[in-house]
Amino acid sequence: MNRRGFIKALTAGAVASALPTQILATPLLQMAAPEQPLLLPKALKAGDTIRLVAPASALPDRHYIFIAKESFEAMGFKVQLGQHVFGRFGYLSGTDQQRADDVNQAFADPSVDAVVAVRGGWGCNRILNLLDYSMISRNHKVLMGYSDITALINAIYVKTGLVSFHGPNGYSHWEDFQAQQVRDVLIDGKMTTMQNYKEQEKTLTMMTNRTTTINSGRAQGILMGGNLTVFASLVGTPFFPDLRGKILALEDVGEDIYRIDRFLSQLQLAGHLDGVAGIVFGHCTDCDPGNGFGSFTLHEVFEHYFKPLGVPTYTGAQFGHIRKNHILPMGLPVELDADAATVTLMMPAVR
């Protein structure tokens, strides 16, 4: 089947039947179909317009906006600002209705080609019931961000089937690596492979960016997840995805190890780890033992929850609250190889 036929079958919800014969022949777990017909956003090109929105925390400095704007302009895009990006309502960037309006208006405006969150923090959960999912499902645009933007990515996927992107926020560390990710995934639609890069180290072995395989093997499935703290906060709401047959990608920042334990326990007790096809955990930046009488290591916590599942799993992947953050299309079919420590897109993430 050619690429167009593959995408057409996926958008009809027939994921498994659309897979090429050579992929189906591999001894991998059966890939579950998405809850909704798969919707792909339009590929970006130079001169397209990006709308910066602030759906979560308020910005501590106006320069955040200008750095984000100038970064996208340097990549050849036009940039518009959401009405309330400079807003302030307590610790949020505007009231819930104002922040939801900015997201809705960005999707509804035909002059806007992509929607990028300036930052995360907290607040997206508060606007999920104010979004116009019917309108969003008719306007297939790139939505990108990470951290608290996990809530938007998952809610929009559950309600519409639209693939969104766990990747750099507007105010991120934009350099050649990040710009190349935008070109490869969002402009050229390449079926990229996420694999940890090697730093410029004059050592006999790799010292940083190392991965750990917890369960060997390969698996295929629709990629879902994001920031663990935010993802776990969606459990029990109508915005939490069905994880059966999915590849679960998680990361976090600034959480004591016992809190990581708590969030994974929440997912386990709610039954959401049962039936996942595979797991990749990215960076857990500044996740330390904290105060007290000792601690499990982070690896021990991961093994406690992931080892008994028996599905391909590895940790330490290059995404999360880090400077060189891979762009992951949430809602897209991928193949995870826990031994090679890779996640490969099985189709373009844009049309």
Gyration radius of the chain's alpha carbons: 19
Verify whether residue 300 is a known catalytic residue.
no
Helix axes 257-269, 298-306, angle to 10 degrees: 10
Place of tokens 């060189």: 324
Choosing from 166, 321, 326, 335, the catalytic residue is 321
Choosing from 251, 255, 283, 326, the catalytic residue is 251
Verify whether residue 321 is a known catalytic residue.
yes
306-343 in b/e form (b: 16+ CB < 10 A) is beebebbbbbbbbbbbbebbbbbbbbbbbbbbbeebbb
Verify whether residue 164 is a known catalytic residue.
no
Choosing from 71, 147, 164, 233, the catalytic residue is 147
Q: Which amino acid is at 223?
A: L
Q: Catalytic residue numbers?
A: 147, 251, 321
